[in-house]
Amino acid sequence: MTMMIEIKNLIKKYGRETVVNIDSLRIKEGEIYGFLGPNGAGKSTTMKMILSLVTPTDGKIQIMGREMNDNTRVALLQQIGSLIEGPSYYSHLTGMENMEIIQVLKDVPKKNIEKAIQIVGLKNHMNKKVKNYSLGMKQRLGVAMAISNFPKLIILDEPTNGLDPAGMEEMRKLIKTLPKDYGMTVMMSSHILDEVEKVVSSIGIINKGHMIFEGSLAELKRDNHPSIYFKTSNPQKTFVLFKEKNSELREEGVLISDLSDSETAYCAKKIIDSGIELYRMEERTKSLEELFIQLTGKKSL
């Protein structure tokens, strides 16, 4: 299968500091790829390198199977839409006037502009000045600008940043329609993991410039053992048995994180052998947020 984006050994250094050092990043056609990482991890810099807004120090970027270089750059960039570090618009102009400027700049037919406005749900707000738009409307206008040439690939840097829950939900719905209805591949960055979990098909997690996980959400959860809750007749005594492990005392039992099947069996046997009654064992799957903290050692916000 042709990769929409394929990155190999991409490095960006600022002075002596290496801010991006990605061995491999692969985004398949039709995916919504969540590019996750804490603040300062290197997400924006990577996206800017894909868009040729920042020059890589070293490495290869292929878009749709073609290497990005001086000969291919213009043709490839014409197939990519983007929203990086917030939308750029003229706030004293109306939404429609802004879209008309984009129509000229991108040299697209009027019907594209009308369709893009309809997709982002701003049809009834086009005669309003953008300075009077809500943040969510401004973001949606940014997406309309980015998709106005109906690119094959769209790159969105933190598209839900700063939006209220209703605005986030609208943005999520909008992003989901792009591959489904318009065949676009979406790469979106975020540090709000719960948001991403509801939208993406694959994720890449970057920390301190390095890719520390890439795959599907199911793979991420499978590779990380769940926590097991042991409900027992004597939680305090159970807790003492496992205090070396990553365990937490709960009201009626003990929660032990990161247990494989054989470790779970060992813990159950140890409880029973200690004369404690084991009432119940429950698997507690980690949320993406918990997995993220485990992998990066940081909270997402």
Ligand X SMILES: Nc1ncnc2c1ncn2[C@@H]1O[C@H](COP(=O)(O)OP(=O)(O)OP(=O)(O)O)[C@@H](O)[C@H]1O
Binding site for ligand X (CB under 6 A): 14, 19, 37, 39-45, 191
Nearest-approach distance from CB 146 to ligand X, in angstroms:
18
Alpha carbon distance, N-terminus to C-terminus of the chain: 35
Q: Other C-beta atoms within 10 Å of 290: how many?
A: 15
CB 238 to ligand X: min, Å: 41
Q: Which is closer to ligand X, CB of 86 or CB of 226? A: 86
Q: Are strands 202-207 and 32-36 parallel, antiparallel or unpaired?
A: parallel
19 vs 63, beta carbon nearer ligand X: 19
Whole-Å CA distances, 136 to 3, 92, 232, 298: 31, 17, 49, 28
Round to whole Å and give the CA distance between 133 and 158: 19
Nearer to ligand X, 17 or 244 (CB): 17
139 touches 163 (CB < 8 A): yes
Nearest approach, Cβ of 85 to ligand X (angstroms)?
8
**What is the enclosing helix (H) or strand (E) of 96?**
helix 95-106
Structure tokens at 276: 């404690």
Q: How far is the CB of 13 from ligand X (least distance, A)?
A: 9
Between 37 and 136, CB nearer to ligand X: 37
Which residue number, 42 or 167, has a Cβ lying nearer to ligand X?
Answer: 42
CB of 300 to ligand X, least distance (A): 10
